[in-house]
Structure 1
């Protein structure tokens, strides 16, 4: 029977694992971005069950290289331009390693004080880095917490908003009131999912029209929707505005939306999952104008700020409201520090009870890169997106489909949907790049999202050259 690893065995195995990861990163550009294996191929290659007496780490790493890695979509690949990035970095991986090694459970301050306190400080560091309003800092009534994703942040914000709108009684039996959630037609699917989980039903979300040019929420349409619902006896509970929508990175007008929310006493949650990272650069903070109206705000360092998944930064302006909505305190969790009210217990700021030490990887990243290193990372990708968009604009076979304020470029072939879809299929089939698609004004549109720390000008130029060359073949075939 295999025994527990002693420290020296762990040290040797750990070196081997780090070497494997370093070699993986060093050879990523030699691999196809995505696997072409059919469904079930890995499952068929694995044994029916584990060995009776265990195996050495070397055997596991060998199978990791020969069986698992070839069947991955490589999100850290320099040619990965799909979805939004989910990038990581060396410091982040090291921070996660330390977190795993410590193995602490941070549900309460009392269960590991440093886990809670480092997270509080890191959230204040991030708030300062993005120049968020003072109301989100832990030194006042607000504060921040790390959620697993922006989806969870939206759910938590929705629950807190419903608690406020219903005076703490929104789920009590016998209270027959319909609560409403508002988001633009470009809002993320997690908004509807949060409303469903909260028990508001499939029609709990009222979608608001967007401006046809900017694709941002129309304040006049929001105001009309809220007034109509109030007249019908419904309760407007929360508006979810977006900084950087998933399809096109449109930016909703926070100042106008915030004023409407303030007028009607509606909670404003701002989802900046991808584009919030841009605010580390002062010249990109225009996207956050009006954030002072927000009751809650989130962005994902795990998308564009070099911190591995999962790490969503979520702030509230009044932490008391959040805790009141979510707290449940059984006897077995009672302790002197909590009873005294002198500490933060992050279990009350999220849906799960348990918490990993996520703040460590954020601490490693912020200390390794520093403010200027993070700004250089963001600025470099914005410049690469501008460079790519200029190439698209200069080729009359292509059309830019939406503004590109950050590092996502949406474009299509002027020849139409069939040609654009065929172009995407062919370039992805090469294994050199991976792009995704959306629809803008009903038209099939390609998305090229730059985010990997390994992506350089050469990779972006290579993607354009591949697209331009393949477009010629596609268009010829359609003639």
Structure 2
């Protein structure tokens, strides 16, 4: 049996691995963004069973280079414009390294006080950094916690909303009410999944119509709520979005919040991508009305230089959340929890256990500071606006949705219906096959459109210019 790695060995091999990561970052621009091998290629290079005897780090790093890297989609590549960013950074990686080295299980305050208290303070820092309402601060009735993703945040918000809507009886077998959930037609798929898991059922999720800017229509929400109440349903939750996945549309929160107050419905605000923009005061217009939300979340792991997984989630009243989720077996009882003087984050999430996620966010906030984070967001917004201007200046193309942040949705102009969709899909395929850039697509008002999302810390204006030159050049080629 291979011996455990000693601290001295860890130090030596750790330097080697850090060097490997640094070299990877330094050479990213020379790599194709997407792998080109067919499915099964990586698996085919791996042995059929785990090694009997242990192997050295050199052998592992060799296979990283020869087996793993050729099959990686490079999300940190300066030419990665697909989906939304999944940023990481040096400080984030170092924070994750420390977290892994400590190996903390932070399910209770008592199991590692620092894991809980650093997280509480960092989430309070973010309230100030984003200009969020003070009711989300842990010093009052609310508070924040780190979830793994916005999908989990939506599920947790749904469970808390059900607890409120049912008067705490939603978990009882005798409760047979039909609860309903609401989001726009542009809402994230995690809302439907949360309804399934929570027992509402995806058939009880109402997709509310949107306007020309792809934002929820408040009057359509009101009509849906009224119809369900008349039919004997119990509206439980409305999920509004700041920065929808498809086009980064912003739902009108003040009007939605007023309707939610009328019907007594929990309002959750999903700002998974665009929440990071609120570090810039000039972009906080997008958060008007968030002060009325019962819960809110955004993903630092998207656009705020913090590696996956890290979703920041707040509630205005933590008691409702804890009441919905707490289960206390005897083996978890302890004096600190019984005192009521501490937060136990196990009661704020679905799983019991939790990593020391706050360390990487703490490292990032301390390294960059407010000024550094704002500079990062502003550079992405400026680059996207530059790209949109080039699209508009080319009569062959059109921008198909507002672009307040760092995503631009565009397409080739055509009146040819399905043929135009095929033409745009072919353009996207050719651009991605180049290896220099990677974009994805969506449908805006039923028509195929390309999405270019800027966000990698390694992306400069020259990379965005190169992407435009590539796309514009390919548009002139036969499909």
Q: Same fold (TM over 0.5)?
A: yes
Report the CA distance between 1:52 and its aligned residue. Answer: 2.2
1:434 partnered with 2:438? yes
Q: Which residue of 2 aligns with 1:108?
A: 108
1:135-182 residue CA offsets vs partner (Å, 9 max, x unmatched)? 000010000000000000000000000000000112322322100000
Please report how far the alpha carbon of residue 292 of structure 1 lies from its aligned counterpart in structure 2 after TM superposition.
1.1
Q: Does 1:148 align with 2:152?
A: no
* Alignment equivalent of 1:461, drawn from 444, 459, 465: 465
How far the C-alpha of 1:53 sits from its partner, in A, is: 1.9
Tell me the TM-score normalised to structure 1 length: 0.98
The reply to whether residue 423 of structure 1 matches residue 395 of structure 2 is no
Alignment of structure 1 residues 258-337 onto 2, 5 Å: 258-337=257-336
Q: Which residue of 2 aligns with 1:253?
A: 252
C-alpha deviation, 1:200, in angstroms: 1.3
After TM superposition, the runs of 4+ consecutive aligned structure 1 residues lying more than 6 A away are: none
What is the CA RMSD across the aligned residues, in angstroms?
0.7
Matches within 5 A, 1:29-428: 29-211=29-211, 213-415=212-414, 416-428=420-432
Choose which of 434, 450, 456 in structure 2 pairs with 1:452.
456
Q: Give me the whole-angstrom Cα distance separating, in 2, the residues matched to 1:52 and 1:199.
A: 45
Q: Which runs of 5+ in 1 are unaligned?
A: none
Q: Distance in 1 between matches of 2:222 and 2:143?
A: 29
Task: Provide the residue aligned with 2:417 in structure 1.
Answer: none
Displacement, 1:419? 1.1
Q: Secondary structure at the match of 2:423?
A: helix
Deviations 1:96-139 (A, max 9, x none): 00000000100000000000000000000011100100100001
Q: SS in structure 1 opposite 2:350?
A: coil
Q: Compute the displacement of 1:472 (Å).
A: 0.2
Quick one: distance in 2 between partners of 1:219 and 1:204? Answer: 19
The 1-side partners of 2:259 and 2:98 are apart by: 45
Partner Cα separation in structure 1 for residue 112 and residue 361 of structure 2: 18
Q: How many pairs does the alignment contain?
A: 474
Secondary structure of the corresponding residue to residue 215 of structure 2: coil
Partner of 2:18: 18
Separation in structure 2 between the aligned mates of residue 53 and residue 116 of structure 1, nearest angstrom: 39
SS of aligned partner of 2:238: strand
Q: Which runs of 5+ in 2 are unaligned?
A: 415-419
Query: How far apart are residue 440 of structure 1 and its match?
Result: 0.3
